[in-house]
Amino acid sequence: MQTFNCFTKPVHCTHQPGAGTLEKKHVLLKGKDVPVFVREDSIYTGYRTTLGYTECIKSVFRLHNETVNIWSHFLGFLYFGFLLCINIFQSHPHNRSSADLIAVCIQLVTYQICMILSSMFHTFLCHSERVKYKWKEADHSGILIALWGTYTRIIVTNFSCFPSWLLFHLLLVTILFSLVFLQRWWNREKRQKGGVELYLFLALSMYAVAPLAHWLSISPTLVHNNTTAQKIFWILVPYGLGGLGLFFYISRIPERIVPPGQVDLCGASHQLWHIFILAGMVSWYDLTCWLSTTRPQSCQLISSF
């Protein structure tokens, strides 16, 4: 059965003198030929053999079933690094104060941390079972860090006219995420192979509703309140992108509905998850820049008398 039909043809081992060791490192394997810890549900082909750290890094520049996962987030890491540099060295209308600049730097640095840890996990997961799950833990921590960075930017932007509430929400979010990190570290031996605690990530993601709802409730107290239905709509866009990514992550579509091997190298659900996560982060950055640029120029409150 033909399985490598996305970008390449099946790779077969040859036995030319002096080429055996090199070709064994480069050959792509079927799922039944690799250790259990490397196998992914409904992914049948395109696996790397067990590799050392150096060979794992070299494999980044070859095509296999982790190539898209590695490069989608490594390119994201570079993109957010570019945005970080232009925010630091150039003036922008969304950076109206030093607090704005600090918040946008936190957002972009945490996005970079998430992107590079994800890319490293997918690079080294074929090294050994122990190494895979150590990097998987780091990968999941990166998601939490990026969520905290997103909340920080949103809170600083939306509550700029309400400094007391700004500090309250920042403190609350930081405490919440710190407790989650402590809980994960404390129970790290009890979790099975660093599996995704999906309910935890969903709960933390949905917590954003609380500060956003509070912001919407107090915005009308401003004389120059410009909170509109348009802004509320665009705030929902990153959630929509995240929801689509989550759909592919959970459903394992399309690999579960297409002939075996058709999307092993490109188009698999985890690769789509990566793309939607990156798109969600880009949209959060663009959205918060827009919110910061269009927020009221004056923080004058409506008189209660």
If you average pLDDT over residues 108-134, what whole number do you get? 97
Amino acid at 124: F
DSSP secondary structure string for all residues of 28-48: -B-GGGS-GGG--TT--S-BP
pLDDT digits 0-9 by tens, 67-117: 999 999 999 999 999 999 999 999 999 999 999 999 999 999 999 999 999
Q: What percentage of the chain reaches a pLDDT higher than 70?
A: 87
**Domain layout of the chain by residue ranges:** 51-293
Over 50: is that where the pLDDT of 10 sits?
no
pLDDT digits 0-9 by tens, 223-280: 888 788 888 889 889 989 999 999 999 999 999 999 999 999 999 999 999 999 999 9
- Tell whether domain 51-293 is in CATH 3.30.70.120: no
Of residues 52, 193, 46, the one with CA closest to residue 129: 193
Name the band, by pLDDT with cuts 50, 70 and 90, for residue 287: very high
pLDDT digits 0-9 by tens, 13-40: 334 444 455 556 679 999 999 999 999 9
Return phi, psi of residue 101, to 5°: -65, -45
Amino acid at 112: Q
Structure tokens at 79: 């993109």
Cα–Cα distance between 50 and 125 in angstroms, integer? 9
The reported pLDDT for the residue numbered 15 is 40
Over 80: is that where the pLDDT of 136 sits?
yes
Name the band, by pLDDT with cuts 50, 70 and 90, for residue 191: low
pTM beyond 0.85: the answer is yes
The reported pLDDT for the residue numbered 289 is 97
If you average pLDDT over residues 119-132, what whole number do you get? 97
- Residue at token pair 């990153």: 238
Contacts of 154 by beta carbon, 8 Å cutoff, 6+ apart: 208, 211, 212, 284, 288, 291
Query: CB burial class (10 A; 0-12, 13-18, 19+) of residue 206?
Result: exposed
Name the band, by pLDDT with cuts 50, 70 and 90, for residue 184: confident
